[in-house]
Amino acid sequence: MKIAPINRSVIGSAKWPNFTASEGPSPWKKGRRWPVKSSGNLSQRLALVGKGGAGKSALTALITRSLVKRGGLRLLVIDADPTLGLCHVLGVRAEKTLEDIRQTIITVGGRGSRSEREDLVHQLEYHLFEALVEAKGFALLAMGQPQQSGCFCPANSLLKGAIESLSDQFDIVLIDCEAGLEQIARKVIGNIDRLIIVTDLTRRGFQTALDIQKAATRFTRAKQVGLIVNRIRTERQKSEAWIRETPLKILGFIPEDEKISEWDMAGRPILELPEEAASVRAIETIWEEMMKGGKAA
């Protein structure tokens, strides 16, 4: 694997020479449990976006659970939200994050010798793979929390490069984005295949969904964009005026599931939800219909 060249925006104000990493043996083939991905099988990149509090991380975890259960797929899950919400609901601890890697780049780039800077560039893909957490049935990469105040643009630049560099190693890349439009507008997820917008039943949620869809049309190459409406309490709520009138394609509805709240209160990962949980059954139906190109009821 050849990692993308380092972009100066990744390291902010630190000085960095114009080096690019040379292609070498990939650490992925050393000591990893999964077989090497077939080069003839293109990866699918999916991103979940929406307003804050809509339930993106929980739905990402539910999709992860569904894909792990199906098996046979090399799955990369990316927690692209600095709050690390996805890590918490998956019950996975990220010992090393992309922000940790960026801080190493800043330190070595600013104070290290030329040979140290050269070594870091050539070893950057190893740092990236070291940040991958191997969980049961999937790998996880976390963006991490900022260690300094100011713009988080450099971290988003590193995240974009990581997505591009790692995607060809996996069958499916599933990205839980931070709330709002920034990672779309900055083209962090510009090369995704499917965009899943998550909303609750509020009018503000639906308006945000429309704003996201418009931004996605401008700044991403997503071939499919759809909406999942979360926390439906009754069948009647599916007929609310703003649901009927939305121009967005509705992929399906996720019912309010008390088990998710129970699991969260107990600190248990969503991956352990039972098959009979309403949210589990709903996401299974939605995923199957998405793969067929249809719409769940």
Please indicate, yes or no, if residue 125 is contained in any of the structural domains. no
- Please tell me the predicted confidence (pLDDT) of residue 15: 33
Please indicate, yes or no, if residue 109 is contained in any of the structural domains. no
Q: pLDDT tens digit string along 21-50? A: 333 333 333 344 444 454 445 579 999 999
The least confident of 193-207, 228-242, 249-263 is 228-242
Look up the CATH number of the domain holding residue 182.
3.40.50.300
Residue numbers of the domain that contains 175: 42-93+133-292
The pLDDT-based confidence of 1 (bands split at 50, 70, 90) is: very low
Instruction: Identify the H or E element spanning 227.
Output: strand 224-232
**Nearest of 62, 79, 85 to residue 139 by alpha carbon:** 79
The pLDDT-based confidence of 291 (bands split at 50, 70, 90) is: confident
Please indicate, yes or no, if residue 127 is contained in any of the structural domains. no
Q: pLDDT tens digit string along 60-117? A: 999 999 999 999 999 999 999 988 899 999 999 999 999 998 888 777 666 656 666 5
- Please tell me the predicted confidence (pLDDT) of residue 43: 75
Please indicate, yes or no, if residue 121 is contained in any of the structural domains. no
The CA angle 273-176-103, to the nearest 5 degrees, is 120
Mean pLDDT comparison of 18-27, 113-122, 209-218, highest-scoring range:
209-218
Instruction: Specify the pTM.
Output: 0.84
251: its two tokens: 């992929």
- Please tell me the predicted confidence (pLDDT) of residue 92: 95
Asked whether 275 and 284 are in contact (CB, 8 A), the reply is no
Please indicate, yes or no, if residue 166 is contained in any of the structural domains. yes
CA atoms within 13 A on the CB side of 33: 12
Percentage of the chain exceeding pLDDT 70 = 77
- Rounded distance, CA 128 to CA 130, Å? 5
The least confident of 87-91, 165-169, 187-191, 226-230 is 165-169
- Rounded distance, CA 164 to CA 3, Å? 8
Please indicate, yes or no, if residue 228 is contained in any of the structural domains. yes
Please indicate, yes or no, if residue 286 is contained in any of the structural domains. yes
For the chain, what is the domain count?
Answer: 1
Residue 213 makes CB contacts below 8 A (sequence gap 6+) with 197, 225, 248
Please indicate, yes or no, if residue 171 is contained in any of the structural domains. yes
- Please tell me the predicted confidence (pLDDT) of residue 27: 38
